Amino acid sequence: MPKKLGTNSKADSARDRKFAAEAEKKVFDSREQEERFWKEAEGPKSRAVKKREEEAEKRAEAAARRAENRELAEQELLELEKLTRKPDPKVTNRFFPVSKVREIEREHRRELERLRLESEAEAAANRRSRTVDVEEYERTVLVSNTNRDDDSVIEARSVAEAIAKMAVGDATQPHDRHPERRLKASFMVRVLTSKCEK
């Protein structure tokens, strides 16, 4: 009898799974390689680019905050207008009380805000101009140097000049060029005089 040429269904399904897994792995590797290529082509972001992006984000956040604050201020102004609107004379005041204390508080807040803005503007102007009044300049810069009050400080540009200024003795006498010889001679004179005295 001839051999049956049937196929093993389990082996076929395993082979198909293996080929599918390999194909999937190839696709994944190719995508990963392409992403790596584009990341390398883009290069690492420089500090300047990062800084610009951060500043742009900060500006966007600040703009959003300003818009939100503007909206809240407009709503508050509308509410204040409603509250401070003159009531209809036909309607009694007990429905729409207008508080004078609130108006005084608002004036006080406006005055404080005005003073704060003035002080900030003055500080900014001082920072921009970097000017100092004369008294403050004299106090900081024109201070006498306490390290040089005595006459022991010698200013010289060379060693010879410094030695000349440090010289002890009479300026009318000529400069002693060989003090060691003079010392030797004075010693010899002393020795000779001591021998003669004996």
Tens of pLDDT, residues 112-166: 999 999 999 988 887 777 666 778 777 777 777 666 656 667 788 899 888 888 7
Q: Which residue has the higher pLDDT, 194 or 169?
A: 194
- C-alpha to C-alpha distance for 39 and 187, rounded to whole angstroms: 91
Give the pLDDT mean for 52-67: 94
Q: What does the buried/exposed string (b/e) look like for 148-166 if buried means 16 or more CB atoms within 10 Å of the residue's CB?
A: eeeeeeeeeeeeeeeeeee
| Four-residue CA torsion sign, 36, 38, 41, 47 | negative
Q: What is the pLDDT of residues 15-53, one digit of tens each?
A: 999 999 999 999 999 999 998 888 777 777 777 888 888
